[in-house]
Structure 1
């Protein structure tokens, strides 16, 4: 005949709380990828997936045993009360989530919202599975179980603040300060990760507008055509740029000949976008001559001829150059 104790041991065999945390992490992954439908509960689940689930999984990994009457800094052998477990879960989540974003920045993955949210879901699921494995290694009599805590009325008394709760608050404040520092550093690093230079060619349309089309397609040898070179500096600092213009005759993907047409330098301040007209005068006769504009930060390479492969940015147009 089964007893209440037998039922409690059977209930302890499955870490239901960690299973729910893992499911919440999986839901978070699905929501980030757009597979979870919109619902009134989605905001609540999202808050739980970010502010509770990651920290709860990590706290469960660190404290796999049930509650103890010992003080906060006394030897508990991996034991904390359910109340402290919940408070720590929120505090650890607040500290852990910014550190995930900081890790993405330091690993040069960037700090985009979708990747950040995806990483939180993956971290939650992994921590939940590892925590479940560690908890199952603990003897059933010592193992933390939310079901046992609900069933056993005496365990509910552990929700009362212990003598170490005040020290726990101090630890959480320190954790918030650390996480705030991590958020600031991640924000500044994310800005650095968005540095780039805009480089493009535009031409004047029949209506007088500058468009990235309607380029000159046929130029007699010795004649010129005008294009506008656009350089946008989003690097976060003032920079000197060098533009080298070359023409190449290409057949079946092979460069048969190359001619340097022009070279000029310009300085662009941070956040500025300039448009400079340039008269292009190809010196190679043939069909589908590729005229390339190569952009370099600073000076163009000295030891090697400027070519598309060693340019910082590049763009080109195709023209037919006739002999007469």
Structure 2
């Protein structure tokens, strides 16, 4: 039976895949499923190019099947970055939802154009004969004239293709873990890695922004300690218990007023993992000087470093 030229099966599949992928990405209860990745790869790497090729070359004599598939991958890799470049100059920017919408609209739009152009070609319109392909494969496997060896080889080939597909999906859905580490940093009051106030009058505070980023591929509990010349100082309770999931960031402002005077004192910020509180996991420090207010009489106020 000839495929319906008014709604070609291949473009119908393309449009359904686009809409299903959008659902798996946008709906919260589906977005954490590994199926999202499996569907997202064709949406980025194949479907836009296939729809564009279908719109540009609607006749069956324009290109053969292999050329269409190869160009579909190549044009997808070219079109998607161009869509992202265009979004960069819009108020929406390059974010998940704008990128998803732009790719989906482009693919659906090209598919509709391809359907319209194929209608005007009649019998000369390109179509993918899924029915004939299935019937041919079924007859090839079921024919009584096939030898036992040929049948076994055909079954092995089909199983090998299925195993290859399953392996590819597994590799894509289960990304390889990189190096495990934790970022630990302190920033000045302006949110930059400079302008730390290190020359103080007794009673003034060192104001910094403390940041922790978990790249450990697992949830981790951290604790923060402050030491001044190896003497442990009191820190707020919420700095003693910091729980972070993988790729999560914790950043808070922290003020510490040194209780003693001295020159070139070592102010340490120590980060511990709760599975090892005996030694710091990360260590940062500043050198500070603190003087009595009476010592400033007739002197210029120390400048911030």
Q: Same fold (TM over 0.5)?
A: no
Pick the TM interval, shorter chain. 0.3 to 0.5
